[in-house]
Amino acid sequence: MPPSFSDKDKRMTMEEAVSRFVRDGDVLYLGGFLHGEPYAAAHEIIRQGKRDLTLSTAAGTLLVDQLIGAGCVRRLITSYCWNPIPAPTHAFRRAVERGIPHPLELEEYSLLGLSLAYFAGALNLPFVATKTMLGSSYLEKQGFLGDRKLRVMDSPFGDGPVCLIAPLRHDVGIVQLQRSDPRGNGQAWGLLGPTKYGLQCCDRVIVCAEEIVEEDKIRTDPNRTLIPGFRCCAVVEEPWGAHPSYIQGYYDRDWRFAAEYERETRTEGGFKQFLKKWILKTKNRKEYLKLLGKDRLTALRGGRRVSSSVSYGLYEGFGEP
């Protein structure tokens, strides 16, 4: 079972959080599903030169491509890896096809299958039985997980074969959310995908948030809490930490950046130039945002459209018998 972290102020810099809680050889889960991808954290992992990671994420996009091209990832667990404009992710393809910068071991699932593996890990189940992936090549072409990934058996209830999906667990998970309090009670809304279950099957969790708010604000809307503070080991306030992904209510996806990335990283030399410019020569997120420029950031900011408030009720006693 994962450790329970003390109920205290866990705020720290991104540099400190990654240095303390992401270790070479870890099984690393990255939260987000197109929305809320933790780019700032991934860039710090690259700067610190973390190696031999097994990277697990529901949807592999530019974030995964950058970590692979930088040489941080030895194994990848995902349902796909592409540029959402759409286009190929070139560093991923170079690693799979030519072993550049080094060979990449790949374990593929369907998106539903991977979500169920996270679900099983979160609930500490031995497996989840499902009909998905039956009759597909996923059962025949298993990667480094081998028979610890999928098996088929006849249902004990007599309705044919079922696919048994083994649980996935991670050493550390990182997520970029809208807000958190200092103790790590992190809240998110918008497109979440399987992030909730992915985080719940991590031994350590780093919460990166667009803003840090008081605990009272978290308590006014508890259903938005994606990760409770007692599961969190570090809290990082990192505005724009998901760029070029997006954060619902804060900023839009930077489609222009995705197109530029595709063109600039078609060759190994082009990728190295991108890496140097946007990650290695920027010490932190503030320098990265300065490189983007105020005009570009202003264009990505969305207008306000506030949802209606609801009453959770105030019950101070059990009332009359």
pLDDT higher than threshold 60 for residue 70:
yes
Average pLDDT score over the chain: 94
In a domain, 100, yes or no: no
pTM recorded for the entire structure: 0.94
Q: Cα–Cα distance between 30 and 53 in angstroms, integer?
A: 12
* Residue at 24 is within a domain: yes
Cα separation, 238 vs 124, in Å, equals 31
> Which pair of tokens denotes residue 73?
């990832």
Share of the chain above pLDDT 90, in %: 87
The answer as to whether 321 is a domain residue is: no
Q: Do 177 and 263 lie in a common domain?
A: yes
Same domain, 152 and 263: no
Examine the domain organization and report whether 280 and 193 are in the same domain: yes
Q: What is the pLDDT of residues 240-296, one digit of tens each?
A: 999 999 999 999 999 999 999 999 999 999 999 999 999 999 999 999 999 999 999
- Selected residue with higher pLDDT from 197 and 302: 197
- Is 160 domain-assigned? yes
Residues of the chain with pLDDT > 70, as a percent, come to: 97
Q: CB–CB of 30/58 below 8 Å?
A: no
By residue range, what is the domain housing residue 292?
Answer: 14-52+168-300
Claim to verify: residue 142 and residue 208 sit in the same structural domain: no
Residue 224 and residue 157 share a domain: no
The total of structural domains in the chain comes to 2
Question: Do 161 and 180 fall into the same domain?
Answer: no
Domain assignment present for 317: no
Statement to judge: residues 198 and 278 lie in one domain: yes
Do 291 and 159 lie in a common domain?
A: no
